[in-house]
Structure 1
Amino acid sequence: VVVPPVTEGAKVVVRAKPRYYDRRGSLSLTLDRIRPVGFGELLARLEQRKRLLAAEGLFAPERKRRLPFLPGCVGLVTGKGSAAERDVVENARLRWPGVRFRILNTLVQGETAALQVMEALRRLDDDPAVDVIVVARGGGSLEDLLPFSDEGLVRAVAAARTPVVSAIGHETDMPILDLVADLRASTPTDAAKRTVPDVVEESGRVRQARDRMLRAVRQQVDREQHGLTALRSRPSLAAPYELVEERRAAVVELRDRSRRSLGHRLDRARDDLAHGLARVRGLSPLATLQRGYAVVTTDDGHVLAGVGSAAAGQALNVRVHDGRLRTRVTEVHPEPGESAR
């Protein structure tokens, strides 16, 4: 296997061992080394450079950054007055008239082209107003596009903080810059289309989104309205006072029953209390005194049970229902027959 592959018509330098066959009169060469020269040598160097940079991960998909949806300012690196500059600017403004550009013109072929593009890239990357950088050039031969396969430029694009779009040549052209850029555009016109959105398309999408949201809101409102209608048709909501009236009548009836029951109980308790009070009053000495009786006691508090316990001249205390009397015995007259008892 020859790396890189050798195509038909390519110029190469080989180291070989010749063999000549007498019978057939043929000569063959056994090769142990082959190296392209001229155009083939150039392709071989580019292929080797691609493999080395790819081995470092500079072309890895996870390193690619998404472009901003609507960049506030687009940085453009291209040749002065070139068709590529015109294609990018005009097509971008046709799509979004308000887009702003910061254009840095450089050489796009020749020995110093790569250095100038790197410097322009650095300046645009340092500008905080620039949201995306487009490197654009029209088509050309392999030699014309060599600056965009320069290793220094490739590494500068990989190190840039701002997303970079490569728009070099035509669809069939693919310098190494296309592999390291965050987005490869097939042409400068394609770069304009993929860098800024189309105001007509976006306006249409906004209208469609607005219509979808409006339909969704209306459907939601309709569903909620149907739900409210269903709820309002329920008896509890259609005539809520009927349930309240039914409950109110039941509460009134229970209240009246409670009052009657409580009244009966209070009446019975009042009667019981009156009867008990009457019995207590009947047993009270005060009630006896109120019927005209009196309680006679001596000075030491003993009740005088009979005349035998009293003596003439003795002071006595008489308790009647409405007060006390102080009296003195003048005479003692026992009742006949009472003493015999």
Structure 2
Amino acid sequence: MFEKLKLSELVEQIQETIIDRFEGEEYWVSAQITNVKKYESNRRCYLTLEDYENREKTAEMRAVFWSNSYGEIEKFENTTKQIFKNGIEIICKVKIRFHKVYGFNLDVLQIDIAHTIGSLELLRQQTIERLLKENPKTIQLYDGVFKTFNNRLPLPLLIKSIALITAPNSDGQRDFLQETLKNKYGYSFEVKEFLTTIQGDNAHKLILEQLKLIEMSKIQFDVIAIVRGGGSQTDFKPFDDYDLCQYVANFPIPIFTGIGHDRNQSIVDLMAREQKTPTKVASLFVECNFEFENKLIELKTNFFDAIAQQIQNAKDDLNHAKRIVKLASPDAILNRGFAIITINNKIVTNPNDIKENTEIQTILRNETIFSTVTKKTKNEERTEL
């Protein structure tokens, strides 16, 4: 007769064995996370840790962040700027827990954030290097500054038509429209919205689709704004996607980004023209038009000043001519002591017209002398009076 055990007795033996072997032990393990379920209200997170080799799952265990370690998730998101979600590979410190009813699971105590940051930065650098290598004519790096076909496009003097890529009913959408459509100068903008998801695993594909729609549109947009706001401050991974970054770098209309992070730059920011927030992008467009208006006012002022100066110069020339004419008038000549000779009331300018025995009139300032010419002689050369 074989000895039988109750299930609970067997489980107790297993529990005792596990306690004897693993009590007080902590381990650093690397794994991919999945089935992530976060409960912020009671600060718990349930998930599954998985391991793969050649794309084949080789291990799987349930894991839990309890309230005393839930802060590790918040620290992870704030530091790495990405959401703690399915598909991420992490290194974490765990201890083994066995419950007689719920079985095995791992208590997660700590996350090695430095490892995740290193992995993200490595992926980012690989994307940047690929962009530079595969697009040498349109993406270059000079003294730490990225020069792309897009961010070197000249801006229009006046910005009128704007294509806006943003999430519907988001803070970014509201802030951008508030700043442009209700600006303090009263400028008018035509804003065409291309609404889509800005965050999440497929956001880069959806943003790319909107850019393609803009490119196929018959509307001649002056600029494009890609803005986000009001959502997670950690999920910027879509803006480091190679395909999206390449498309932005080569796009034929100037693109401005305002995706709401102060410390870090996404690769899309580097490929386009970056402003930190949606409001700052909109303010830049408004100020661009303000500068254009000031230039017009300056040109108008300079134009009328130049016309006024030309009129004044013409007046001065006319007055000068009047003075010269006045100095050459008969009265002015007589006042200077000269005389005018006339024959039959016609002024004589050629001495050959005066013959001997001709009656002439010599007009002086106050008197006219009537005389008859009796003799003419040539004057010797002499110094001018």
Whether TM-score is above 0.5 comes out as yes
Indicate conservation of the 8 Å contact 2:233/2:260, yes or no.
Answer: no
Q: How many residues align?
A: 225
Q: Distance in 1 between matches of 2:241 and 2:341?
A: 94
Residue 148 (structure 1) aligned with residue 229 (structure 2):
no
**Which residue does the alignment assign to 2:352?**
254
**Which residue does the alignment assign to 1:91?**
179
Indicate conservation of the 8 Å contact 1:140/1:169, yes or no.
Answer: no
CA gap 1:142/1:90 in 2 versus in 1, 3 angstroms: closer
Residue 214 (structure 1) aligned with residue 304 (structure 2):
yes
Indicate conservation of the 8 Å contact 1:78/1:135, yes or no.
Answer: yes
User: What is the DSSP-based 3-state SS (H/G/I as helix, E as strand, rest coil) of the residue aligned with 2:157?
Assistant: coil
1:229 to 299, 315, 319: 319
Higher strand share: 2
- Runs of 5+ consecutive residues of structure 1 not aligned to the other structure: 1-8, 14-35, 261-341
Indicate conservation of the 8 Å contact 1:114/1:150, yes or no.
Answer: yes
Q: CA RMSD in A?
A: 3.5
One-letter amino acid matched to 1:74: I
Q: Quote how far apart the aligned CAs of 1:87 are.
A: 1.3
- Runs of 5+ consecutive residues of structure 2 not aligned to the other structure: 1-78, 81-88, 92-113, 141-145, 334-339, 359-385
Q: Quote how far apart the aligned CAs of 1:86 are.
A: 1.1
Residue 104 (structure 1) aligned with residue 202 (structure 2):
no
One-letter amino acid matched to 1:70: L
Indicate conservation of the 8 Å contact 1:139/1:173, yes or no.
Answer: no
Indicate conservation of the 8 Å contact 2:275/2:281, yes or no.
Answer: yes
CA gap 1:44/1:246 in 2 versus in 1, 3 angstroms: farther
Q: Quote how far apart the aligned CAs of 1:148 are.
A: 1.0
TM-score (normalizing by structure 2): 0.50
User: What is the DSSP-based 3-state SS (H/G/I as helix, E as strand, rest coil) of the residue aligned with 1:77?
Assistant: strand
* Map 1:6-155 → 2, pairs under 5 A: 37-55=115-133, 56=136, 57-59=138-140, 60-61=146-147, 63=149, 64-95=152-183, 96-129=186-219, 130-138=221-229, 144-155=235-246
Q: Distance in 1 between matches of 2:115 and 2:233?
A: 15
Indicate conservation of the 8 Å contact 2:157/2:288, yes or no.
Answer: no
Indicate conservation of the 8 Å contact 1:114/1:148, yes or no.
Answer: yes
Higher helix share: 1
Q: Quote how far apart the aligned CAs of 1:54 are.
A: 3.4
Indicate conservation of the 8 Å contact 2:223/2:254, yes or no.
Answer: yes
**Which residue does the alignment assign to 2:284?**
194
Max Rg structure? 1
Indicate conservation of the 8 Å contact 1:138/1:170, yes or no.
Answer: no
CA gap 1:45/1:200 in 2 versus in 1, 3 angstroms: closer
Indicate conservation of the 8 Å contact 1:74/1:132, yes or no.
Answer: yes
Report % sequence identity. Answer: 23
Q: Distance in 2 between matches of 1:97 and 1:135?
A: 21
Q: Distance in 2 between matches of 1:111 and 1:54?
A: 25
TM-score (normalizing by structure 1): 0.56
Q: Quote how far apart the aligned CAs of 1:71 are.
A: 2.8
User: What is the DSSP-based 3-state SS (H/G/I as helix, E as strand, rest coil) of the residue aligned with 2:263?
Assistant: coil
User: What is the DSSP-based 3-state SS (H/G/I as helix, E as strand, rest coil) of the residue aligned with 2:258?
Assistant: strand
CA gap 1:143/1:46 in 2 versus in 1, 3 angstroms: farther
**Which residue does the alignment assign to 1:170?**
261
Q: Distance in 2 between matches of 1:221 and 1:255?
A: 46
One-letter amino acid matched to 1:131: D
